[in-house]
Amino acid sequence: IGAMANYSFADVYNNDFITRNWEQIRSIRKPVIAAVSGFALGGGCELAMMCDFIIAADNAKFGQPEIKLGIIPGAGGTQRLPRAVGKAKAMDMALTGRMMDAAEAERVGLVSRVVPLDKLMDEAMGAALTICSYGQPSLMAAKEAVNRA
């Protein structure tokens, strides 16, 4: 963001400086897991939402604070967040810049599970190993079917 400080509004609006390759994450046919600890705000939250599911440490906080800067979430946050948490929660977060902690994020469906910080990577790797034990064609079909729902 700091690197764009000297660009004009038109330059930033017409170019995709930050997220130009992010949509590739959504097109990967293999499952992608986000393991989140600490703050996942703005682009960090949007990047996590591009993954197939999110495992969060108990210290994780999620938010879309862009409104506080006079802008809106720019990497699909205004589309992905309501799909994950519903319109009311998404509006609350997008219009107020409010953050939600890991427990609330799990309760509303943004994250699939919350674990202690010291177990986060073990949990994510365990999920990955479980997924890897299944046949790739069925995983790809399941991922595609859920994404089309």
41's enclosing H/E stretch is: strand 39-41
Residue with the two structure tokens 């469906």: 109
Q: Enter the tokens of residue 91.
A: 């509006």
Of 102, 93, 101, which is closest to residue 65 (Cα–Cα)? 93
> Looking at the predicted structure, is the pLDDT value of residue 27 above 80?
no
pLDDT of 25 reads 73
> Looking at the predicted structure, is the pLDDT value of residue 1 above 60?
no
pLDDT of 87 reads 92
**Domains of the chain (ranges plus CATH)?**
2-148 (3.90.226.10)
pLDDT of 28 reads 81
Q: Where does the pLDDT of residue 36 fall: very low under 50, low under 70, confident under 90, or very high at 90 and above?
A: very high
Q: What are phi and psi of 99, to 5 degrees?
A: -95, 155
- Cα–Cα distance for residue pair 67/135, rounded to 1 Å: 43
How many other CB atoms are found less than 10 A from the CB of residue 5?
A: 7
pLDDT of 89 reads 92
Answer with the residue of higher pLDDT: 42 or 132. 132
pLDDT of 16 reads 63
pLDDT in tens, 88-146: 999 999 889 999 999 999 999 999 999 999 999 999 999 999 999 999 999 999 999 99
How many other CB atoms are found less than 10 A from the CB of residue 16?
A: 13
Of 100, 121, 87, which is closest to residue 41 (Cα–Cα)? 100
Q: Where does the pLDDT of residue 21 fall: very low under 50, low under 70, confident under 90, or very high at 90 and above?
A: low
pLDDT in tens, 48-95: 998 999 999 999 999 988 888 887 777 677 788 888 898 999 999 988
Answer with the residue of higher pLDDT: 147 or 53. 53
